[in-house]
Each structure stands twice: as structure tokens, then as C-alpha cells.
Amino acid sequence: MPNIMSYRFTATLLALICCFCQPDSRAQSAAPVPALKDNARFPIGVALNVGNEPGDMADIRESATLINSQFNSIVAENGMKMRFLHPAIDTYDFAAADALADYASTHGMILHGHTLIWHHDYQLPVWMKNYQGDWQAMLREHIQQICRHFAGKVKSWDVVNEAIDNKHPKQYRATLFLEKLGPAYIEQAFIAAHEADPAAVLYYNDFNIESKSDKLQFMLDMVDDFQRRHIPLHGIGFQMHVSIDSPDIAQIKTALQAVAARGLQVRISELDVSLNQQQKAASLDPARAQLQKTRYRDIVSTYLQSVPPAQRGGITFWGLLDKDSWLLDNKPYPDWPLLFDDKGQAKPAYFGVLEGLKESQ
Ligand code: G3I
């Protein structure tokens, strides 16, 4: 039962009520603004929900005007995680993800796959938690069934997500995969994915690698080892769930440059800028909205300054409208982390991104 105090639940409920009061409440005609995708020579993406977790293709179609005008890359926020694609050991369910892939193809968008291997309990298949067989063969089959199915539809994958311990960043996170296979599960995942779909661009994705130097260094050591051994890791996804003032932009620049210097693709994979995780204010302060605009501009500008054009895997925002954000989950206070407000109107944050993109023109 969702936490009825959660803002995301409340916001969604209000949207549903509005649907009855007025059609297409998610797609209210917003003032037209320039297209972000037309101001970048690399993918500009957004995370969307399919398979009713909590949104679905109906929501996407309702917001299609905004999505199609602004973005040329999409990723499933939840619907392509492990238990949704692989609900039982001999069962794969690609229906919802195929609908998203069809949408991407119809609208000339890239589909990024998130994520083949992740420890998070919400999306770990129950059968996998109890699996007693050959773990290496099972994970290989999991990855290869999915990568073969989406070959030609999914351009790039988060092959492994968040494998480094965030609290003790000089070691791998103690996950079921580490327990069963040791750190080798990571390289095995990349090798399996590359064999199944040699054309796919394969990423390691994590958070706080732009803010924790120990975590960044541990990841860089893994990358260097993989490059020495020709493990097919092609890029790094910096999730970039940040706030207005942390981490500082110099630290972000250092991290992006360190990965770019290794010749890898670099994605900002889950960008949002929270305004209220500390303040817990009941309403949005316009001055903070302007600080958020500056923050988005500086992050985009730093990405362009730090990553050579050929290595720019793109920037993806972790949600379309503020009310869609995971940051509202189970919180008794709101947040406004994204580019568009709950009516699809461009916020100052959107204009910050546009200014950052234009700086590179
Ligand atoms: O849909 C169910 C609903 O039926 C149920 O009543 C409710 C009970 O709480 O849960 C709902 O599912 C929630 C789901 O999001 C859909 O809203 C899960 O509890 C909740 O854990 C899940 O959170 C997602 C989270 O990943 C965990 O998978 C967030 O939406 C999603 O934005 C977040 O995304 C992750 C990236 O995949 C990896 N990087 C970090 C990022 C933020 O955590």
C-alpha cells in the first residue's frame, strides 16, 4: 500500500482526478520552448515509466508532445529492470519494454537499457534470490537472452549498476552477485553482453562517483584493469543525483575528465537537481529555482568542457515532470528536481540546460 503521505502518490492521484475533470491533464498545452535535442550534438534523454511502475505507455502517449519535442533518447525508469524482464527463471517478459522500443523507433529516438545487473531488492527477481544452481551460467543466460532480444532496438546498456560500496568506497558492494561469484561477476556480465550484442555500447553506471574521490578512484582502477585485459566496457554512466550546491563543480569536472582521459564514452545518466531534500520546505522558493537553473547550466557546460564530442554518450534527465521524480517517493514534503513543472511548463532549470548547451555552440 503506497504511503499516502508520499508526494509522488498524492501528485499522481491528483493527476488522475484531473484526468476526469479535464482530458490530457499530463499534456496540458505548455508554452512552446526551443527543443533541447536540437541544441545538442549528442543524445538528450528522459527516463519514462512503462509496465505500470508507476506509469505506462498511456502516460507516455499523454505527454508525447513534450517528450517528442524535447528528447531524442529514452530509458525505462523501472520497466526494464531485472524482475520485469525476467520474472521467472524460464520466463522473459518483453512486452512492456518492446512497446517502449517501438515508441523510440517510431519517433527516431535512442533507447538506452537500464539495467541488466543491479542488487536493489525492489527489482531483484524473487526466484533469483533463491537460486541454488550455477550462478555464472544463470547470469550469463539472463544477460544474453535480454541482449539478444533487444539487439538493434537498445543502443546501449547499463550492464552493471552500483557495484561499488557507497559507504566503504574502496571495496565492492556486498551484493548477492558478489557473494555468489566474487568481483568477477562484473567482467563476466560485460563479456556476456558483448557476445550477445556486439553492437551495443556497454556502460558501468553508478552514483557519487562525481562526489566521492575514493569511489571514483576505485572505479577508475577497475576500468584500468578492464582495459588492460580487454574487457568490453565502453563507457561510464555518472548518475548525477545532485543538489544545488553539492558536489562542487570542480569535483564533477575532475571526475568527468578522468573517465574521458581513458577514451571511454561518458553519459550523465540520471540527472536531477534536488531543491528540498535538506530544507523540506512546503513550497518552491523562486530564488532557489534560479539557483537550480544556474546549477543545471554549470553541469551541462562542464560536461561539454570535459568530454570530447566523440565520447559524449549523452545527458539523460531522471524523469519528465517534477511530480514524476523518485525524490518524492515516501517523503512528507515536495521537491522540484526536474526541468518541467507538473503542467509541463518549462522551469528556469530547463533554460539553464539550454544556456549550457548553447555555450558549446
Ligand atoms: O509501483 C509500486 C506500487 O504498486 C506500490 O504500491 C508501491 C509501494 O511503495 O511501490 C511501487 O513501486 C515503487 C517503484 O519505484 C515505482 O514507483 C517501488 O516501491 C520503488 O522502490 C521504486 O523506486 C525506483 C528505484 O529506482 C528502485 O528501483 C524509482 O522509481 C527509480 O527512480 C529508481 O531509479 C534508480 C535507478 O534505477 C538507479 N540509480 C538510482 C535511481 C534512484 O534510486
Residue of 7, 78, 166, 205 to test ligand 1 pocket, by largest number of atoms within 8 Å of CB: 78
Residue whose CA is closest, atom 17 of ligand 1? 54
Q: Which residues line ligand 1 (CB under 6 A)?
A: 2, 53-54, 77-78, 120, 122-123, 161, 239, 270, 326
- 82 CA distance to ligand 1 middle (Å): 13
What is the β-pairing status of strands 235-238 and 265-274? parallel
Q: Are 86 and 125 in contact (CB under 8 A)?
A: yes
Residue from 29, 48, 25 nearest 320 by CA: 48
Per-residue pLDDT, 29: 55
* Its pTM surpasses 0.85: yes
- State which ligand 1 atom lies nearest to the alpha carbon of 6: 9
- 6 CA distance to ligand 1 middle (Å): 12
Residue from 231, 317, 221, 220 nearest 267 by CA: 317
Cis amide prior to 175 (ω within 30 degrees)? no
C-alpha cell read off for 207: 552514483
- 47 CA distance to ligand 1 middle (Å): 12
The Cα 67–Cα 35 span in angstroms is: 10
- State which ligand 1 atom lies nearest to the alpha carbon of 325: 32
Residue 105 has pLDDT above 50, yes or no: yes
* 361: confidence class by pLDDT, cuts 50, 70, 90: low
* 149: confidence class by pLDDT, cuts 50, 70, 90: very high
Q: Which residues pair with 160 in a beta bridge?
A: 117, 204
Which residues are known to be catalytic?
Answer: 162, 270
The Cα 314–Cα 303 span in angstroms is: 9
Give the pLDDT mean for 237-265: 98
The residues, ordered by sequence, that sit 6+ positions from 95 with a Cβ below 8 Å of its Cβ are none
The residues, ordered by sequence, that sit 6+ positions from 173 with a Cβ below 8 Å of its Cβ are 119, 162, 163, 164, 165, 166
Alpha helix segments (H runs only) across 130-228: 135-150, 176-181, 184-196, 213-228
* 108: confidence class by pLDDT, cuts 50, 70, 90: very high
Give the pLDDT confidence of 218-241 residue by residue, as tens digits. 999 999 999 999 999 999 999 999
The Cα 46–Cα 257 span in angstroms is: 24
Residue whose CA is closest, atom 14 of ligand 1? 53
Give the pLDDT mean for 107-126: 97
Q: Are 317 and 338 in contact (CB under 8 A)?
A: yes
The Cα 113–Cα 274 span in angstroms is: 24
Residue from 96, 87, 184 nearest 145 by CA: 87
- 219 versus 56: the higher-pLDDT residue is 219
- 233 CA distance to ligand 1 middle (Å): 27
Residue whose CA is closest, atom 36 of ligand 1? 77
Helix, strand, coil fractions of the chain, as percent rounded to 5: 45, 15, 40
Residue whose CA is closest, atom 12 of ligand 1? 53
Give the pLDDT confidence of 175-220 residue by residue, as tens digits. 999 999 999 999 999 999 999 999 999 999 999 999 999 999 999 9
- 316 CA distance to ligand 1 middle (Å): 18
- State which ligand 1 atom lies nearest to the alpha carbon of 1: 6
Residue position matching grid coordinates 523518485: 326
